[in-house]
Amino acid sequence: MTVSDPTAKPAESADPESAVETARRQLERAATHLDVDAGIVERLRHPTSVYRVTVPLERDDGSREMYTGYRAHHDSGRGPYKGGLRYHPDVSEEECIGLSMWMTWKCAVMDIPFGGGKGGVVVDPKELSADERERLTRRFAEELRPVIGPMRDIPAPDMGTDPQTMAWFMDAYSMQEGETTPGVVTGKPPVIGGSYGREEAPGRSVGIVTREAMDYYDWDREETTVAVQGFGSVGANAARYLDDLGASVVAVSDVDGGIYDPDGLDTNDVEDHDETPGMVSGYDAPETLTNDELLELDVDVLIPAAIGNVLTAENARDVSADIIVEGANGPTTSSADEIFEERGIHVIPDIIANAGGVTVSYFEWLQDINRRKWRLERVNEELETEMLRAWNAVRKEYEARDVTWRDATYIVALERVADVHETRGLWP
């Protein structure tokens, strides 16, 4: 295991910028609105540490391959590091650092007692068999074992990983520790200590926050049109939630393309990308469209719920939605954000919109520690309460200051994190 130099400056890049560049700009903007010690802001621009590991894998044909894995720890002032593990060819140290910063803010906005972490392996999981994914996950868990733990750092699913990945991870950790430790990861299958409602939670919170935004602007739900990019777990659950509320979801897409029905799609009838990949573009809809066309559709609400950096300086002027609700982590670059602000398009940021995932992860961790399962109804009721609490805190800042929704959300988060650092002080 190597500890990378966490103060190293990331390479500069043009738009689309790296996750850490976007995350730092957002932090600096929020800091201008608050009276936070400059030393604390400087500390929060950097991760506490970044671990880099090499994960050897025996392929099914007997050959060996080496993969690089990371785990970035941004801040643990408020509690153990928390955040997902992604398996994706684009995983990098910088991406993990940026995503771990977002986790710190996400947990703070939700006022849950966790800090921010993120990690992953540079791999295309679709190119591995299930057995290979299992071996890779078990070895990755072992390589990370010195830096994780239920009171230290608690991973969860993210892009390219799922409840089964978390089950292997938890089993590998538990076997080595000599005791079953369900609280070491969240997002597990319910049978081994996962929470009911965890898989649906990020999409559900996107739905709840969109509902609150529609109500805030006094929109008639039945008259509201929605387009969702990415019909995986986040996008499909958000689309179905809004469809059930009466909104008209006119377009959805997956990696292969999208479908469009001006009268509204029956989102419960469209199989999501996780259920059957490729089914979205194959669905019998009046029209098809590309992912780029979907982002520019004339709808009331646009929900980018696929990957990062899809809204950039290139296409921000062509976006026609009035409100963007970020389902994915980091779908909007800083330059696109400026264009949206100038054009009066409201962007409800990822760190509140999809925070239902980590919130139900927190519920899962509590259930694991207490060895007591909650019913689905309780999970959803408590999620609703926590989302409203966070939304109201953000709304108060939005109304009190002349700022964007993103700035208001960051102000709430940064104030809470800075307060903890101010109160705890610097050691030694």
CB of 161 to ligand GLU, least distance (A): 9
Q: Which two tokens stand for residue 91?
A: 């995983």
CB of 252 to ligand GLU, least distance (A): 21
N-to-C CA span, the chain: 26
Contacts of 265 (CB under 8 A, 6+ apart): 243, 249, 250, 251, 252, 259, 285
CB of 329 to ligand GLU, least distance (A): 5
Q: Which residues pair with 289 in a beta bridge?
A: 258
Q: How far apart are CA 146 and CA 292, in angstroms?
A: 43
Nearer of residues 159 and 228 to ligand GLU, judged by Cβ? 159
Q: Which two tokens stand for residue 114?
A: 């966790």
CB of 98 to ligand GLU, least distance (A): 12
Nearer of residues 24 and 82 to ligand GLU, judged by Cβ? 82
Nearer of residues 16 and 157 to ligand GLU, judged by Cβ? 157
Among residues 9, 82, 106, 118, the one annotated as catalytic is 118
SS (H, E, C) 21-36: HHHHHHHHHHHCCCCC
Nearer of residues 187 and 258 to ligand GLU, judged by Cβ? 187
Residue 254: phi and psi, rounded to 5, are -130, -165
Residue 67 in contact with residue 132, Cβ under 8 Å? no
Nearer of residues 232 and 258 to ligand GLU, judged by Cβ? 232
Contacts of 63 (CB under 8 A, 6+ apart): none
CB of 163 to ligand GLU, least distance (A): 12
Residue 122 in contact with residue 67, Cβ under 8 Å? yes
Q: Does 118 participate in catalysis according to the annotation? A: yes
Q: How far apart are CA 65 and CA 111, in angstroms?
A: 41
Q: How far apart are CA 136 and CA 62, in angstroms?
A: 14
Q: Which two tokens stand for residue 355?
A: 């925070």
Burial of 146 (0-12, 13-18, 19+ CB in 10 A): exposed
Contacts of 317 (CB under 8 A, 6+ apart): 339, 343
Angle at 238 between CA 209 and CA 317, to 5 degrees: 75
CB of 31 to ligand GLU, least distance (A): 23
What is the number of the residue whose Cβ is closest to ligand GLU? 84
Nearer of residues 106 and 421 to ligand GLU, judged by Cβ? 106
CB of 272 to ligand GLU, least distance (A): 17
Q: How far apart are CA 34 and CA 201, in angstroms?
A: 31
Residues in contact with ligand GLU by CB under 6 A are 82-84, 106, 156, 158, 186-187, 329, 354, 357-358, 361
Contacts of 329 (CB under 8 A, 6+ apart): 19, 99, 102, 308, 350, 354
Burial of 46 (0-12, 13-18, 19+ CB in 10 A): middle
Nearer of residues 158 and 368 to ligand GLU, judged by Cβ? 158
Q: How many CB atoms lie within 10 A of CB 303?
A: 33
Nearer of residues 98 and 187 to ligand GLU, judged by Cβ? 187
CA dihedral 333, 312, 275, 248 (to 10 degrees): 110
CB of 317 to ligand GLU, least distance (A): 29
Catalytic residue annotation: 118
